[in-house]
Amino acid sequence: MANPKYLVLPKGVSERNFDAALQKFREIVGAEQVLTSADRLASYNKIMMPVDDAKHAPSAVLLATTVEQVQAIVKVCNTYKVPIWTISTGRNFGYGSAAPGERGQVVLDLRKMNKILHIDPELCTALVEPGVTYQQLYDYIEEHKLPLMLSMPAPSSIAGPVGNTMDRGVGYTPYGEHFLMQCGMEIVLANGEVLRTGMGGVKGDKAWQVFKWGYGPTLDGIFTQSNYGICTKMGFWLMPKPPVFKPFSIKYDNEADINEIVEILRPLRIAQIIPNAVVIAGALWEAGGANVKRTDYYKGTGVTPDSVIEQIKKDKGLGAWNVYAALYGTKEQVDVNWKIITDVLKASGKGTVITQEEAGSTQPFKYRAELMSGVPNLQEFGLYNWRGGGGSMWFAPVSQARGSECDKQAKLAKTILNKHGLDYVGEFIVGWRDMHHVIDVLYDRTNPEETKAAHACFSELLDEFEKEGYAVYRVNTAFQDRVADSYGPVKRKVEQTLKRALDPNGILAPGKSGIRI
């Protein structure tokens, strides 16, 4: 039955105790920064997953502006056993957005903690608060004419480095493995104490943002994709802006080419001839990036017919697979590497190379080139217009960077998606030795049958990929426990042990990555 005073209460918390906790929160952050009315909470409940909104409804939202406020908030949470779900910018679209992982959790929104604390143009480091966006950093770097380049994920403009890195997201430059480039965190623990990782605990230290390891166990990793603490500051490395940047694309006409593409690219990537996270994008992903809507071509239901996809490819000049990569450095360096790459491609006898000069400002090349050079944009949101209806889940299994693995994954994914009436909208992101296979499971969330199919499809993707020895590296909040199971009972037990030690009342994001006390 609906509670007359609150839309929902946190699990296990009485109305009386919630009243008292909210009063304490108001004393800490101010009454205006404690949101409980339906119209203020609605945008924190906007999910894209195929489950009922009510499963992810927040009971309240707290807007903190200082570390001291965060410390005081967790103390109140311990007193009243109120669970909180922390977000930075809250733009993890398709993974849960700004909504809490479980119904009734209080959202702790850190978007107002948005100070760029330090950028060192000589050491190429940054230290920022959780609410800082990539656009904000980009504007700062441009305004101060700093010779630095950012690495960012596709929702770059409105997302931020803290949230993306803490969720182990990736970008598209040579610094695209964001957690690898992270250096130093400030964490508010569940008991209110403040931990600085790496060199950050040493009095008078100046190396917090340049030396990651410090002394003893390196702790940073346990705070990513977890619920052991709240990150209130994060350091990371920035790439020096190269004098020459040369983006390019290679178009392949056949789906079967994926095997060969990866075998050609892997040696170039591992040897750093191609230094950035190469993308191999499927035709429909590219169609979304080129502003194509499915209804422009096809009015039917279910899977988009191959003949329609072929027509889109023809109209937009897209391949079945479209490789994006870039070279960075001096002219001499770029020229040498360009020759190596073009020689390899020529020897393979496949693929059409497209340079920036040839592509001009056409999409999707333009936005891909921007992402590879650290320029924020929003073009990839066009994926949400492909099918429409507001449903999106990222299915992101990892594999070795081998052609045979990618071929197998692409075929398996397409078969399962098509079986459920959904399209394969996917890309591979080539790490140094791994492959992130990122698939956007797009569906019409306003259509109950399609929503049900999307849920079944996602479950089957997880199950069938697991049977083949694959697991996802990240998942939306509706499937966290399922994915935690993929990594085995011992890992789950260790994570629970850590949780009980660091957060004995289980107030920090219970359920995040399947971790609870």
Query: Does residue 161 belong to the site contacting other proteins (CB under 8 A)?
Result: no
Among 16, 145, 206, 299, binds other proteins (CB under 8 A): 299
Tokens of 293: 């809507």
| 366 is a site residue for other proteins (CB under 8 A) | no
Whether the CB-CB separation of 512 and 95 falls below 8 Å is answered with no
Name the residue among 197, 277, 201 with its Cα closest to residue 235. Answer: 197
* Among the listed residues 123, 271, 378, 501, the single contact to other proteins using CB under 8 A: 378
Site string for other proteins, 300-329 (x = CB under 8 A): xx----------------------------
- Of 371, 383, 462, 471, the residue at the interface with other proteins (CB under 8 A) is 383
Residues catalogued as catalytic: 95, 473-474
Which is it for strands 148-149 and 125-128: parallel, antiparallel or unpaired? unpaired
Residue 149 near residue 173, CB atoms below 8 Å: yes
Chosen residue from 295, 342, 352, 404 binding other proteins by CB under 8 A: 295
For 78, counting Cβ atoms within 10 Å of its Cβ (0-12 exposed, 13-18 middle, 19+ buried), the class is middle
End-to-end CA distance of the chain: 28
Tokens coding 91: 């733009």
Task: Return the percent helix, strand and coil in the chain, to nearest 5.
Answer: 40, 20, 40
- Residue 376 binds other proteins (CB under 8 A): yes
Least Cβ distance, residue 61 to other proteins (angstroms):
9
x/- track of binding to other proteins for residues 394-413 (CB under 8 A) = --------------------
Closest to other proteins by CB, 159 or 401: 159
**Please, where are the H alpha helices in 145-302?**
161-166, 178-181, 258-270, 283-289, 294-297
Nearer to other proteins, 317 or 388 (CB): 388
Minimum separation from the CB atom of position 31 to other proteins (A) = 11
Of residues 45-104, those binding other proteins (CB under 8 A): 46, 89-91, 93, 97-98
User: How many residues of this chain interact with other proteins, rule: CB under 8 A?
Assistant: 49
Q: What are phi and psi of 254, to 5 degrees?
A: -115, 140
C-beta of 311 vs 400, nearer to other proteins? 311
Strands (E) in 287-340, as ranges, are 321-329
Strands annotated E in 410-475: 426-430, 434-444
Among 121, 317, 329, 390, binds other proteins (CB under 8 A): 390
Segment near other proteins (CB under 8 A), from 259-267, 423-431, 438-446, 505-513? 438-446
364 versus 514: smaller Cβ distance to other proteins: 364
As measured in angstroms, the least distance from the Cβ of 365 to other proteins is 15
Subset of 18-47 contacting other proteins (CB under 8 A): 36-40, 42-44, 46
CB of 243 to other proteins, least distance (A): 25
170 near 103, Cβ under 8 Å? no
Binding residues vs other proteins (CB under 8 A): 2-7, 36-40, 42-44, 46, 89-91, 93, 97-98, 111, 135, 156-158, 291, 293, 295, 299-301, 376-379, 381-385, 387-390, 444-447
